[in-house]
Each structure stands twice: as C-alpha cells, then as structure tokens.
Amino acid sequence: MAVTSTTNKNLTLTMSIKVGEKVVKGLSATIDSETQNITLSNWINDMELYKANRVAIRAEEAKFEDMAFDEQEKLAGGSK
C-alpha cells in the first residue's frame, strides 16, 4: 500500500470582545486556502455581560465577519 500525504494551509482570524477588561465573547474564522471555504465559530464567556451589551457586541461581530469575508475574497483572488 502506498503512503501519501496532503498539506493544507489555512488562515485563522480570531477576535476577543471585551466589556471593560473582561472577555465576554470570542470569535474565530478559518479560511481554507485551497477551497476558500470559511468556517465561523463563536462562544460566550459571560452571558449576563453579553445580554447587557448585546447591541455593541453585535456591532463588533459584524465588523469581524466583514473582515473575515474580505480575507476570503483576497484568497479567492477577488478585488478586495
């Protein structure tokens, strides 16, 4: 049986959203450089602070997603 291997290069972006000095939410985007598929994930570290600051946190989430999709377009050879 033949031994084979493949190597893949990914770009991973992360963001920590803080209220004061406390990290309330984390975000991650991983872009496959070969297929340009993007995987987004997120987690909440403090639900009470998240609920109390939802509007501002969602604005930061939107910025992160825009940045991730811009990077995906760059990898795909787009104009951004």
Tell which wins on pLDDT, 31 or 78: 31
**How far is the first Cα of the chain from the last one, in angstroms, to the nearest whole number?**
45
pTM, 2 dp? 0.83
Q: Token digits for 70?
A: 């811009």
What is the per-residue pLDDT across 1-48, written as a single tens digit (0 to 9) for each?
A: 999 998 888 999 999 999 999 999 999 999 998 889 999 999 999 999
pLDDT above 90 (res 64) = yes
Q: What is the pLDDT of residue 78?
A: 62
**What is residue 65's DSSP assignment?**
H
What's the gap between Cα 58 and its chain centre? Answer: 14
- Tell me the chain's radius of gyration from C-alpha atoms: 16
